[in-house]
Amino acid sequence: RIIPCSLRTREHHIIGRLDTDENGNLYFKKGPLILSMEEGSICYFDELNVMEADALIRVDEALDHRKEINVEGQTFRAKEGWWCVASINPLDRLHLGTKMLPAQIISRFPVKLQLTYPDISTEYNIVKLHVPEIAHYSSQMIELIKAIQFMRTTDLPYIPTIRESIALAKLLVAKIKPYDAVKMVLLEVYAQWGETVIRQATELIESKIGKLEVFG
């Protein structure tokens, strides 16, 4: 069970809520957390540190030694083998809305892994999985990935992700000129911050691949 979290994720989104059946009778409609507990399946919280406090309290309740949740006079217990995984975003300027998790929540996840962007070769292979035809433009794509990875080390107000790498690949195989592809995917996003930021981003890219007008 995958539970996508957002700034609007509340308690009822994960444990369920009262609903009415076709005869107008009230019943408790189970949410994804309780369903995963009863199935004994993996429950994955995507971006746990953006959800609201009332929902986090329920996560904490489910993960204590009793492995149960009490709601509407009912107790729901986790089946043997149930376990929980969560991802969180950094507490930085690029991930607005993220919150520092309480210590008791952090302690419920004793094993932690830090995930960063992959190296150039791995990122290229990920792109190729989504756009196999990019193999015909491998040298151009690798140079663009180098530029993208460099942009991620800067203080630009927006940092391109692997989504942008995939978008560039799709445009290249569609025979869009590299200059136009770079402009649409990597530069136009900075228009909201003004010409100075666009120029800064352009200079960063060109420091890695040369003048855009002649690239490719």
- Which CATH number is 22's domain given? 3.40.50.300
pLDDT tens string 24-65? 888 889 999 999 999 999 999 999 999 999 999 999 999 999
In Å, how far are 32, 42, 118 from 60, measured between CA atoms?
A: 15, 16, 32
Residue ending a domain, among 75, 107, 139, is: 107
What does the pLDDT average to over 115-130? 96
Are residues 99 and 191 part of one domain?
no
Residue tagged 């690798």 (tokens): 142
Query: Considering the domain boundaries, does residue 132 fall inside one?
Result: yes
Average pLDDT for the chain: 93
Say whether pTM exceeds 0.75.
yes
Same domain, 198 and 138: yes
Domain that holds residue 51: 2-107
| Residue 14 lies inside a defined structural domain of this protein | yes
The reply to whether 78 and 138 lie within a common domain is no
User: Is 25 domain-assigned?
Assistant: yes
pLDDT band at 167 (very low <50, low <70, confident <90, very high): very high
Beta pairing class for 74-77 and 2-4: unpaired
Nearest Cα neighbor of 89 from 75, 101, 81 is: 101
Q: Do both 64 and 9 map to the same domain?
A: yes
Residue 59, pLDDT score: 96
Residues 87 and 126 in one domain: no
Write down the pLDDT at residue 212. 77
Residue 124 structure tokens: 């290229």
- 63 and 145 belong to one structural domain: no
Residue 112 lies in a domain: no
The C-alpha atoms of residue 216 and residue 12 are separated, in whole angstroms, by: 52
pLDDT at 154: 93
Regarding whether 137 and 90 lie in a shared domain, the answer is no
Same domain, 26 and 76: yes
Residues 6+ apart with CB under 8 A from 55: 5, 9, 10, 11, 13, 14
Query: For position 216, what pLDDT does the model report?
Result: 64
Is the pLDDT confidence value at 159 over 80?
yes
Q: Of 77, 107, 137, which marks where a domain is finished?
A: 107
Flag whether pLDDT at 144 surpasses 70.
Answer: yes
Is residue 36 in a domain?
A: yes
Cβ atoms < 10 Å from Cβ of 177: 14
What are the C-alpha distances in Å from 9 to residues 47, 56, 66, 100? 11, 10, 24, 16
Residue 88 shares a structural domain with residue 126: no
Q: Is 97 a residue whose pLDDT tops 90?
A: no
* Number of domains within the chain: 2
Q: Give a yes or no: residue 113 inside a domain.
A: no
Report the share of the chain in percent with pLDDT over 90: 85
Is residue 9 located within the same domain as residue 80? yes
In a shared domain, residues 96 and 150: no
Domain boundary among 107, 133, 151: 107
Residue 77's pLDDT is 95
